């Protein structure tokens, strides 16, 4: 069984990582929102739906596939780099979200271990 001190240190370390990661996620999300706004795209929709860049004969388009339709947004030449950055940020946010959910599940697991440890100590102290 893990000692009480070691368990507390593990929880503190995990919370520190979670808070740092959450701060980083919020910063990237803010930048993603700004880029979505520049193209007239709702950030929630951009995250939930398929999003890709497509080169057509007249130029570059951001394509968004929603459950009901596929939307196209023309990308002017001067915004081409921003469109590519938007796509990269979306992928980064998805990975960060998965990692955040993993950390949250680990915190929940640790909470269960701490509860079991407290119950054990209370039972031993009678």
The percent of the chain in helix, strand and coil, each rounded to the nearest 5, is 70, 15, 15
Using CA atoms, how far apart are residues 74 and 62, in angstroms rounded to an integer? 6
Residue tagged 């929880």 (tokens): 11
13's CB contacts (< 8 A; 6+ apart) are none
Residue-wise pLDDT tens for the chain (126 aa)? 567 777 778 778 888 888 888 888 899 999 999 999 999 999 998 888 898 999 988 789 999 998 888 988 899 888 999 999 999 999 999 898 888 888 888 888 887 877 777 787 778 886
């Amino acid at each position: 069984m893990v000692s009480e001190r070691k368990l507390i240190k593990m929880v503190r370390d995990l919370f520190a990582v979670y808070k740092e990661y959450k701060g980083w996620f919020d910063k990237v999300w803010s930048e993603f929102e700004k880029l979505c706004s520049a193209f007239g795209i709702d950030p929630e929709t951009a995250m939930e739906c398929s999003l890709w860049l497509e080169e057509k004969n007249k130029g570059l388009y951001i394509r968004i596939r929603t459950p009901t339709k596929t939307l196209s947004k023309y990308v002017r030449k001067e915004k081409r780099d921003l469109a590519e950055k938007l796509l990269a940020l979306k992928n980064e946010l998805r990975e960060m979200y998965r990692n955040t959910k993993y950390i949250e599940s680990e915190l929940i697991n640790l909470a269960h271990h701490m509860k079991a440890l407290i119950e054990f100590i209370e039972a031993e102290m009678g």
